[in-house]
Amino acid sequence: QGTPNGASKFVKARLAMAVIADMILMTIPISLMTFLAGLTAVEVLCLAGFGLLIAVGSSMIAIGVTAKNPDYEDTKSPAHQTNQMTAMMLPMVCIMASVFILIALSILDLDVLIENALSPLGFELLFSLSGPFIILLVGVAYVSSGIKSLSSPE
């Protein structure tokens, strides 16, 4: 083990690398969609913003899962397979959670109340951002937990 700040610096460096990679990798589908669908500048910015939030949140979850349960063996180890499944399933569950929240709001007739309070555009924006922000919150929780796990003495 290194110093207590060593784990934090290591995870932050991994996060910085992931954000840079996410930004670079996001340009390919956004460029393709802009070319094929003829998106306006505002639509491209919205698409890039939502995509980047989801990509960074998913990267945070994956880094946090790996930091919490490091696997030093080969790819056939149970720890590696558990990390892979967790890192793939959590972002999907987070996105689906926003849909389930909207369904619950609709069943309780609260969607109309929120839509009247925020306007239809505000409600759409709130619903669109709920999935990415759930992913970010879960990502922050996993990264924090992973840093604590890596920092603690064995």
DSSP letters spanning 11-64: HHHHHHHHHHHHHHHHHHHHHHHHHHHT--HHHHHHHHHHHHHHHHHHHHHHHH
What is the pTM assigned to this prediction? 0.84
Q: Mean pLDDT score of the chain, rounded to an integer?
A: 87
Per-residue pLDDT band for 4 (boundaries 50, 70, 90) equals low
What is the arithmetic mean of pLDDT over 50-74? 88
Could you tell me the sign of the dihedral formed by the alpha carbons of 63, 126, 97, 52, in that order? Answer: negative
Which of these ranges, 2-11, 36-45, 107-116, has the smallest mean pLDDT? 2-11
pLDDT at residue 63, as a whole number: 93
pLDDT at residue 154, as a whole number: 65
* Residue 32 clears pLDDT 60, i.e. is over it: yes
pLDDT at residue 53, as a whole number: 92
> How far apart are alpha carbons 52 and 69 in whole angstroms?
25
> How far apart are alpha carbons 154 and 144 in whole angstroms?
18
